[in-house]
């Protein structure tokens, strides 16, 4: 079976629906996972996705903030949503796809500007979120269950994942405490980073460039924040992974670009 999965922090699905249409026209993913949809479920453009062939959907959204969605051309066998840190902030949706693949679409909190959990509640929330999800994966993990975790994890773990390791060590998204927490989360599910499986460091890869840059491509001060992980049982089926960098130049672009994985031939 061939399966193409794309993940994208779209930064408002209704505002950037034309960009989603363009992604689908150019790459036809079987499953599209969106983060930061910024839409309550009642206003999510489900009819547009139905027209595009995504008849199977799990939408978990709220007004103005956060929100995740799994949109699929292939049947979804079961689905559910999860809440963390005693909040209903729409950051985790999961669906079981054909072949029993358990797909998790996760949007980790950004964490604010100050990397100090004692003085910055947003950073404390981020660390707690990572701890809770890691503990949950560790408790439910079964070695024979194929799983995939995708999404905007809001952490660039490797030196090659940021434009300047030295300058970003004290900047939220690349601090040692966040990198350690992300590593713990990855280990809790036994996950392998599929893009780095194909493109190992020291080659630099980014999926996010700030809107503040006058010319994002020229300055290229990016970070690798968007990830696709799979459990080891799926490694032998990996065919290709892509970062769709060109989408950062599309009209009304998101500050993130899609990441895409193809399984099977």
The tens digit of pLDDT for each residue in 29-74 reads 999 999 999 999 999 999 999 999 999 999 999 999 999 999 999 9
* Listed residue (130, 153, 127, 157) closest to 226, CA to CA: 153
Residue 141: which pLDDT band, with cuts at 50, 70 and 90?
confident
Cα separation, 258 vs 265, whole angstroms:
21
Angle, alpha carbons 148-131-262 (nearest 5°) = 15
**Cβ atoms 111, 125 nearer than 8 A:** yes
Residue 145: which pLDDT band, with cuts at 50, 70 and 90?
confident
Residue 248, pLDDT score: 98
* Listed residue (55, 60, 68) closest to 42, CA to CA: 60
What share of the chain in percent tops pLDDT 70? 100
* Listed residue (3, 62, 72) closest to 36, CA to CA: 62
Instruction: Average the pLDDT over 140-168 and give the result.
Output: 94
Instruction: Average the pLDDT over 12-25 and give the result.
Output: 98
Domains delineated in the chain: 3-263 (3.60.10.10)
Secondary structure (3-state) at 174: coil
Residue 1, pLDDT score: 74
Residue 144: which pLDDT band, with cuts at 50, 70 and 90?
confident
Given a cut of 80, whether residue 143 has pLDDT beyond it is no
């Amino acid at each position: 079976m061939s399966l193409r999965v794309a993940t994208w922090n779209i930064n408002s699905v209704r505002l950037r629906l034309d960009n989603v249409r363009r992604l689908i026209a150019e790459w036809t993913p079987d499953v599209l996972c969106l983060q930061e949809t910024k839409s309550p479920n009642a206003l999510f453009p489900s009819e547009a996705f139905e027209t595009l062939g995504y008849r199977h959907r799990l939408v978990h959204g709220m007004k103005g903030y956060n929100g995740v969605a799994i949109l699929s051309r292939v049947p979804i066998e079961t689905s559910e949503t999860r809440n963390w840190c005693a909040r209903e902030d729409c950051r985790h949706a999961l669906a079981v796809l054909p072949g029993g693949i358990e797909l998790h679409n996760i949007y980790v909190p950004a964490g604010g500007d100050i990397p100090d959990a004692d003085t910055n509640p947003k950073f404390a929330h981020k660390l707690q979120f990572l701890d809770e999800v890691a503990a949950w994966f560790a408790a439910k993990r079964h070695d024979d269950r194929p799983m995939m975790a995708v999404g905007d994890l809001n952490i660039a773990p490797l030196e090659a994942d940021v434009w300047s390791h030295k300058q970003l060590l004290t900047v939220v998204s690349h601090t040692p405490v966040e990198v350690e927490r992300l590593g713990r989360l990855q280990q809790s599910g036994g996950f392998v980073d599929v893009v780095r499986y194909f493109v190992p460091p020291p080659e630099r890869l980014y999926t996010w460039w700030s809107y503040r840059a006058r010319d994002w491509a020229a300055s290229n001060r990016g970070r690798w924040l968007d990830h696709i992980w799979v459990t080891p049982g799926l490694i032998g089926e990996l065919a290709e992974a892509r970062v769709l960098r060109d989408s950062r130049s599309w009209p009304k672009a998101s500050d993130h670009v899609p990441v895409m994985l193809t399984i099977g031939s």
